[in-house]
Amino acid sequence: MFSYRHSFHAGNHADALKHIVLVQTLKHLLHKDKPFWVVDTHAGSGLYDLGGRHATTSGEADSGITQLWALRQDPAMPGAVRALLDQVALINDGGQLRWYPGSPQLAAQMLREGDHLRLFELHPTELSLLAKHFGDVKRGITIHAEDGFTGLKSCLPPPPRRGLIHIDPPYEMKEDYRRVVQTLRDMVPRFPSGTYAIWYPQVARRESQQLPSQLKALAGQLPKVDWLHATLRVKRAEADGRGLYGSGMFVINPPWTLYERLEEALPWLVEQLGQDDHAAYSLEAQQN
């Protein structure tokens, strides 16, 4: 149950898509003076050393942030990609890429006084690193040693009635796919105005391939729910059916600006991060 460590995967192409969406969503929420909450159901350790043993062993950052960082002077870079790189630059001195922010660090960098970040993590090592990373923060961040799927019930609706719910389980267990759908079925009615950002992997597993249609069907059953679905595929699936070849983000109640930002960014990302002629993207949305 506790074998997954995101430090092996930090900064890969899936993180690029996920964190571009998160940064754009946070930027939209920041446009209003009213405070909001960010709830992360599977927080990880918060910050990742790209020069560490896990990252250098996997080399996965080379499929994402390393390539994007090398292009940061490109005037053709889409604004949504540049906005993520601006956040990454805040934790890297002298133009050298060493650290990559997980979603908790990205949120912590962007939130204002009065906003609140609630983080759930069960993995004992990740939890210890997360607590150490935010150990000097006295207010605005709460860390829970609890399953994020069940912990959401204690958070929603947040007092400000504004918020981003980030759902990003490791999907090592098939049960995670079912729990994503059930959690949304239970939680969206509790906090119908919230934005829910769900990441999922594109892998050769039936549950992964069925999840987008299940999320669309669920959204159709909920009253007055808009949704956006974006995918980024960088290569063909391996013949043995193993490995991550792409990922998707499904957003319930997305910012109205998000579709336009991704419409510009996704073709550029395919061009820059695509590894073969199977690289592709998709973008669709529905308003009610």
Q: What angle do CA 204, 210, 212 make, to 5 degrees?
A: 110
CB atoms closer than 10 angstroms to residue 151: 19
Residue where the block lists tokens 């004992």 = 124
pLDDT score for 5: 66
Domains of the chain, CATH where assigned = 6-286 (3.40.50.150)
Is 168 a catalytic site residue? yes
Map residue 44 onto helix, strand or coil: coil
> Which tokens sit at 156?
């929603």
What pLDDT does residue 8 have?
72
pLDDT by 10s per residue, the chain, length 288: 444 567 678 899 999 999 999 999 999 999 999 999 999 999 999 999 998 888 887 778 888 999 999 999 999 999 999 999 999 999 998 889 999 999 999 999 999 999 999 999 999 999 999 999 999 887 899 999 999 999 999 999 999 999 999 999 999 889 999 999 999 999 999 999 999 999 999 999 999 999 999 999 999 999 889 999 999 999 998 877 678 999 999 999 999 999 999 999 999 999 999 999 999 999 999 987
Distances (CA, A) of 200 to 117, 181, 197, 246, 268: 22, 12, 10, 9, 21
Q: Are 198 and 257 in contact (CB under 8 A)?
A: no
Contact indicator for 287, 226 with CB cutoff of 8 Å: yes
- 193 contacts: CB under 8 Å, gap ≥ 6: 161, 162, 253
User: What gap in Å lies between CA 235 and CA 93, rounded to an integer?
Assistant: 32
Nearest to 212 by CA among 250, 185, 182, 176: 250
Q: How far apart are CA 220 and CA 27, in angstroms?
A: 27
pLDDT given for residue 196 in this prediction: 98
- What is the distance between the alpha carbons of residues 160 and 36, in angstroms, rounded to a whole number? 6
Q: Tell me what pLDDT residue 3 has.
A: 47
Q: H helices within the chain, ranges in order?
A: 13-29, 53-58, 65-70, 79-89, 103-110, 124-133, 148-151, 175-187, 206-221, 258-273
Question: What is the side-by-side strand order in the sheet with 163-167?
Answer: 141-144, 116-120, 37-40, 163-167, 195-202, 246-252, 227-233, 280-286
Q: Which of 168, 226, 276, 277 is catalytic?
A: 168
Q: What is the pLDDT of residue 178?
A: 97
To the nearest 10°, report the CA torsion of 169, 260, 190, 208: -30
Q: Under a CB-based contact definition with an 8 Å cutoff, are residues 140 and 116 in contact? A: yes
Q: Identify the pLDDT of residue 4.
A: 52
Query: Cα separation of 7 and 56, whole Å?
Result: 10
CB-side neighbour CA atoms (13 Å) of 261: 21
Rounded Cα–Cα distance for residues 140 and 162 (Å): 15
**Side chain identity, residue 25:** T
